[in-house]
């Protein structure tokens, strides 16, 4: 069905967007909560190097796993479109291909774990006492890699099939089990960083088994057949590899930007580094809230294109845009009124509180500037326009963020935050231009 970007969403569209968004928001919140529990459990041991080892080791694997986040994003877009076409056989094939690709990459991480960990720890160069705990943590945590990456594929598949309550159940149960095992291994069995890593590995594999069981139940309601031939031919993975390669470049570029931001803050002293780390928790809250609507757009826009229903496609985007803008405005108001209170909850060090409060205004306006980049990412993932997603990221980093940072170095940390906000603004503007061009050319349904 034809449609235009001016098609106004009906109540059913608003309701469906919200039904998909809120479980993902709650799911996202469980992830930083787990990090807080890990920190609290290991942080009450007798020596600080235990906490440092877990912090370094968990950061290493967070970066490593995040680099393969395309297994979630790419799967969502392709499955959503297969779902819209009513292609149950294609839906099953995409699930199997994603899981096999995740299993292959995870197995390679296990095989290459020693050189990968040695290189990463050499680059981080922690204190020798911390190094020992971080190495112990990493040696165990690597064995969870296949489970983590397969869970990414499963989450993408569930969202692509417009089921966000199962990801909520999976993430909540997994993180709860992880927390309980943390307490058992560290306090009950007297383990240190290795205990925290073992808790994560067991929880990750348990999540995969639970996810596969839930997946089997959902498949019972999807018509179609299993075809083994597409799993055995490399050429059959063409669409998935094409989508995922762009998402991989995009994610690596994003990771480098955050690493550069952190490094430049560190060059300005411990207080600035700590203040920026506190303020990045505000960004975590922003992304957790706005990503819920982005996930809804991924599933619903992909399904609409699969059905070749442009009217519903535009209605979905308008509805998610309205919800996202309201959420962004709410976050801006929250940070303006209670930002210093939130900072006080995050740190008790007075000098860090003062520095964080000084740069808080940048975070107050960030939701309204960054909202469009989150929404557009959801659109591009759902429609598999991921080359545009990659290119807008490259433009934002290398043609905006880097030059703005270079020119504003005399401003110190204010210049760094100005460059960071310019990065979000550039993603929104360049992504908005691509979206407008695709609408003008009516190119959404082109192969």
How do residues 18-37 score in pLDDT, each as one tens digit?
998 888 887 777 665 655 56
pLDDT at 193: 74
Q: What is the mean pLDDT of residues 119-134?
A: 70
Is residue 177 within 8 A of residue 206, CB to CB? The reply is: yes
Task: Report in angstroms the alpha-carbon separations of 342 from 40, 277, 326.
Answer: 18, 13, 21
- Is 45 or 316 the better-scoring residue by pLDDT? 316
What confidence category does residue 413 fall into, taking pLDDT thresholds of 50, 70 and 90? very high
pLDDT at 332: 96
Is residue 1 predicted with pLDDT exceeding 90?
A: no
CA pair distance 344, 278, nearest whole angstrom: 10
Q: Is the distance from CB of 45 to CB of 51 less than 8 angstroms?
A: yes
Q: pTM of the prediction? A: 0.86
How far is residue 368's CA from residue 23's CA, in Å, rounded to a whole number?
A: 23
Q: Where exactly are the structural domains of the chain? A: 1-25+246-447, 45-232
Q: Pick the residue with more confidence: 124 or 222? A: 222
Question: Is residue 384's pLDDT more than 80?
Answer: yes
Helices 270-306, 145-160: inter-axial angle, 10-degree rounding: 50
CA distance 202 to 240: 29
Per-residue pLDDT tens over the stretch 165-197: 898 888 888 888 888 888 888 777 877 777 888
Question: How far is it, in rounded angstroms, from Cα 208 to Cα 175?
Answer: 13
Question: Which tens digits make up the pLDDT trace of 41-66?
Answer: 665 555 556 666 666 677 777 778 88
- For 208-221, how does the pLDDT look when each residue is reduced to its tens digit (9 = 90+)? 999 999 998 888 88
Q: What DSSP state is assigned to residue 222?
A: S
pLDDT score of 49: 60
Determine which helix (DSSP H) or strand (DSSP E) holds 4, and give its type and residue range.
Answer: none
Paired tokens of 63 = 């970066």
What's the token pair of residue 143?
């064995």
- Angle (CA) 100-152-297 rounded to 5° is 120
pLDDT at 279: 85
């Amino acid at each position: 069905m034809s449609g235009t970007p001016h098609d106004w969403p009906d109540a059913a569209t608003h309701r469906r967007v919200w039904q998909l968004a809120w479980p993902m928001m709650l799911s996202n919140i469980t992830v930083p909560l787990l990090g807080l529990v890990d920190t609290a459990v290991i942080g009450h041991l007798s020596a600080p190097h235990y906490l440092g080892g877990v912090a370094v080791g968990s950061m290493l694997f967070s970066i490593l796993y995040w680099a393969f986040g395309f297994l979630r994003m790419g799967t969502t877009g392709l499955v959503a479109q297969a779902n819209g076409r009513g292609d149950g056989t294609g839906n099953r094939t995409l699930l199997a291909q994603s899981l096999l690709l995740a299993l292959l990459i995870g197995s390679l991480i296990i095989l290459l774990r020693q050189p990968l960990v040695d290189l990463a720890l050499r680059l981080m160069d922690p204190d020798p006492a911390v190094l020992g705990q971080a190495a112990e943590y990493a040696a165990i945590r690597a064995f969870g890699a296949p489970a983590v990456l397969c869970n990414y594929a499963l989450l993408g598949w569930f969202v692509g099939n417009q089921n966000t309550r199962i990801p909520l159940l999976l993430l909540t149960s997994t993180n709860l089990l992880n927390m309980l095992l943390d307490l058992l291994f560290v306090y009950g069995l007297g383990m240190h960083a290795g205990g925290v890593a073992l808790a994560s590995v067991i929880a990750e594999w348990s999540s995969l088994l639970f996810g596969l069981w839930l997946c089997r139940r959902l498949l019972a309601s999807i018509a179609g057949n299993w075809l083994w031939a597409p799993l055995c031919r490399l050429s059959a993975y063409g669409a998935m590899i094409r989508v995922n390669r762009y998402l991989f470049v995009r994610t690596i570029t994003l990771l480098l930007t955050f690493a550069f931001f952190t490094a430049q803050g560190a060059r300005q002293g411990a207080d600035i580094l700590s203040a920026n780390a506190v303020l990045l928790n505000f960004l975590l809250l922003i992304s957790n809230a706005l990503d819920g609507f982005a996930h809804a757009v991924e599933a619903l826009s992909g399904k609409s294109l699969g059905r070749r229903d442009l009217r519903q496609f535009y209605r979905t985007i308008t509805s998610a845009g309205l919800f996202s803008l309201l959420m962004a405005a709410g976050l801006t108001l929250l940070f303006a009124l209670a930002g210093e209170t939130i900072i006080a909850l995050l740190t008790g060090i007075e000098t860090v509180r003062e520095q964080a409060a000084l740069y808080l205004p940048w975070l107050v306006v960030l939701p309204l500037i960054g909202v469009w980049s989150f929404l557009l990412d959801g659109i591009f993932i759902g429609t598999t326009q991921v080359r545009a997603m990659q290119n807008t990221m490259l433009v934002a980093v290398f043609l905006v963020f880097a030059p703005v940072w270079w020119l504003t170095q005399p401003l110190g940390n204010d210049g760094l935050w100005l460059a960071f906000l310019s990065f979000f603004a550039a993603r929104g503007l360049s992504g908005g231009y691509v979206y407008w061009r695709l609408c003008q050319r009516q190119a959404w349904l082109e192969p």
